[in-house]
Copies of this chain bind each other. A is one copy, B any other.
Amino acid sequence: MDAVTRIERSLAQALALAQGSDAPPALVAAMRYAVFPGGARIRPRLAIAVARACAENKPDLSSAAAASIELLHCASLVHDDLPCFDDAPTRRGRASVHKAFGEQLAVLSGDALIVLAFQSLARAAESAPARLATLISIVARATGAPAGIVAGQAWECEQHIALAQYQRAKTGALFAAATAAGACAAGADSSRWHLLGERIGEAYQIADDIRDVVSNEGDLGKPTGRDQVLGRPNAVHDLGIASAVGRLEDLVRAAIDAIPNCPGAADLRAHILGEAGRLLPREIARPAA
């Protein structure tokens, strides 16, 4: 089964846990709206690519780990779009959750998706209970305080922003969790896999900065130029476009170098290079090195 099918199926299984005859209908609808149809599913596809590279023996657990990371990503988008943060009217080319369902259900669906990430992981780990505690720790550390995506967003509330910590938490943490959780779900030593995810996350952050400056809203499915409007750091503003693209290419090479020894290293390398080729907007894309 290809990775995208596995991810969509595992997300659907997770959402089924949240559904029930006694569920408030609008909450479940808002949760589904936040998750389907998805974006590029970059993080869960990375988790599955790593699990495969580690010769996974519990593919259902790898899929659930990948899905849990996507659920947390979707939850963070819903909350980041709220009026008190970015006040984003659109996401993935249509109304953001709070525009479609109201602010209350945006808060609550984000909360419920966070819970669902852990719940679906616990359920899938029945086949390999010894891996559960590490998986929960990996995913939780990437999400909460001190250095997960919630902490990353919280740096925006500080007067003096610690730029490296901000970006590592806001973007890098969930990529590092994707590689570590993919390895852990496959029964490998997850600690060897953080660095790869961190470097991919950093590359992705720079690509996001470039897209925010260069893309048009129709291509991106969300407003562009937001970093400037919201006073957020952006690598293109700091380095200029050419140096930012160069930095992105360096990071992709550094990521490739960080792939640990594993049975499927060659396929994983190809996956990462393929993804890297999609990171830049059409306007400035070059063939990957």
A interface residues, Cβ below 8 angstroms from B: 18-28, 31, 75, 79, 82, 84-85, 102-105, 107-108, 110-112, 114-116, 118-119, 121-123, 125-126, 129-130, 132-133, 136-137, 140-141, 143-148, 150-151, 153-158, 162, 165, 169
Copies in the complex: 2
Beta-carbon contact of A122 and B133 below 8 Å? yes
Beta-carbon contact of B150 and A111 below 8 Å? yes
Q: In whole angstroms, what is the CA distance A118 to B82 when docked?
A: 24
Q: Which residue of B lies closest to A115 (CB)?
A: B144
Chain B neighbourhood of A162, CB < 8 A? 22, 24
Q: Which residue of B lies closest to A113 (CB)?
A: B144
Beta-carbon contact of B85 and A150 below 8 Å? no
Q: Which of B23, B126, B145 contacts A27 (CB 8 A)?
A: B145
Q: Which of B18, B118, B121, B157 contacts A105 (CB 8 A)?
A: B157
Query: Are A146 and B79 also in contact (CB < 8 A) when A114-B114, A155-B24 are?
Result: no
Beta-carbon contact of B122 and A132 below 8 Å? yes
Beta-carbon contact of B137 and A133 below 8 Å? no
What would be 13 A-B contacts, judged by CB atoms less than 8 Å apart? A20-B145, A22-B146, A22-B147, A22-B169, A27-B145, A27-B157, A84-B103, A84-B104, A84-B107, A112-B145, A115-B148, A123-B137, A132-B136
